[in-house]
Chain A
Amino acid sequence: MAATNPSVFLLMVNGQVESAKGLEEGISQITSKSQDVRRALVWNFPIDVTFKSTNPYGWPQIVLSVYGPDMFGNDVVRGYGAVHVPFSPGRHKRTIPMFVPESTSKLQKFTSWFMGRRPEYTDPKVLAQGEGREVTRVRSQGFVTLLFNVVTKDMRKLGYDTGPADTHGIPGPSLPQGISG
């Protein structure tokens, strides 16, 4: 049976949002900072998605928004971050920086801290594109680690070369750092 020429390629991604370090406060959904010296935040949140496309332009990105309660108990945004899904098949680990939008004037900063209404993006998708960012001011704080497994189908048949898989040296679904064995 002759193989037909494909017109689309498939991208299948699975993985997890692993851990965060360095964020100001530690409560999110069901996670608090651990009591030991690591002070790590672990979500272990699964990601499992498949995409279909004819063109790598607009390659998928994961956009993260992290929220937490402030001193008065309101849920405020603690960080935004975005990263492209890796391109080559295999296992990949990405640690991404998180940042928070900031008001320009000190009075506005005090008012938003007091009222519990901090500046946030109305649509976090703005982080996945570059336009319109030149007027925003942000403060970067904290990192989030993500683990990806990527499988692609028919990219090579369509003529795309994504380069070597860069997965050597990445250990298995890992224990948070600090625990040996």
Chain B
Amino acid sequence: MAEVHVIGQIIGATGFSESSLFCKWGIHTGAAWKLLSGVREGQTQVDTPQVGDMAYWSHPIDLHFATKGLQGWPRLHLQVWSQDSFGRCQLEGYGFCHVPSSPGTHQLDCSTWRPLGSWREQLARAFVGGGPQLLHADTIYSGADRYRLHTAAGGTVRLELSLLLRHFDRYGVEC
């Protein structure tokens, strides 16, 4: 069986309208992949940047997969939320990116989007907060049923991920 190590960090996020941000992340893989060690999902701390507009989390990711096939290559999905001084959380964006497939260290910039509701909901969000959220989180990384969504762009999440591959050349896979 070939093995893949995904080791890196969710560095931070920039370009969002609010400044106290945290991120919920998860990794989704196909049926041929098995997670040997590491946690598949997590949540970062809430960060308020003092200088500049980039919120920094430095959240470590360390995953060890074993795989029998190339289908279902791991996908990292993210939800960026903001927290206000009262402790209420509001959704700022959903995003996903595929884990890179070539070995080495990669800098990734993941763009995000958030669902827009009707004009009433947008007005309420501007004054009171809240706003529509996805009922099923797998819409973030799958293409089905997206035509129903009307969304607006959010900011960008920056990640640095390193890939270590093992025994891929034994199976004739070039990457």
Q: Do A and B bind each other?
A: yes
Work out how many contacts link A and B, with CB atoms closer than 8 A: 124
Give complex CA distance A57, B87 in Å.
Answer: 35
B60 x A57 contact (CB < 8 A): no
- From the candidates A140, A162, A163, name the one contacting B47 in the complex (CB within 8 A): A140
Give complex CA distance A58, B142 in Å.
Answer: 30
What are the residues of chain A within 8 A of B83 when measuring CB–CB? Answer: 137
Given A55-B64, A134-B43, A139-B50, A88 and B58 contact (CB-CB distance below 8 Å): no
Give complex CA distance A59, B8 in Å.
Answer: 10
Kindly identify, within residues 36 to 82 of chain B, every residue whose CB is under 8 Å from any CB belonging to chain A.
36-39, 42-51, 54-56, 58-62, 64
Pick out which of these stretches binds chain A: B117-125, B129-137, B157-165: B157-165
Give complex CA distance A84, B10 in Å.
Answer: 12
B7 x A84 contact (CB < 8 A): yes
Give complex CA distance A137, B43 in Å.
Answer: 12
Q: Count of chain A residues with Cβ under 8 Å from any Cβ of B?
A: 41
Classify the interface of chain B: helix, strand, loop or mixed.
strand
Given A97-B11, A137-B48, A138-B47, A129 and B60 contact (CB-CB distance below 8 Å): yes
Q: What 1/0 flags go to A85-116 for Cβ under 8 Å of B?
A: 01110000000110100101000000000000
B88 within 8 Å of A by Cβ? no
By CB atoms of chain B within 10 A, which of A61, A136, A160 has the most?
A160
Q: Count of chain B residues with Cβ under 8 Å from any Cβ of A?
A: 46
Give complex CA distance A149, B102 in Å.
Answer: 22
Give complex CA distance A134, B37 in Å.
Answer: 21
B143 within 8 Å of A by Cβ? no
Shortest CB-to-CB span from B90 to chain A, Å, is 16
Shortest CB-to-CB span from A39 to chain B, Å, is 13
Kindly identify, within residues 134 to 159 of chain A, every residue whose CB is under 8 Å from any CB belonging to chain B.
134, 136-142, 158-159
Given A97-B12, A130-B39, A134-B22, A161 and B165 contact (CB-CB distance below 8 Å): yes
Pick out which of these stretches binds chain A: B108-116, B146-154, B166-174: B166-174
Interface contacts beyond A137-B46, A161-B166, A162-B103: sample of 13 additional A-B pairs, CB < 8 Å, sorted by A: A56-B64, A57-B38, A87-B164, A104-B87, A134-B42, A134-B44, A137-B83, A138-B48, A159-B167, A162-B162, A163-B102, A163-B162, A166-B105
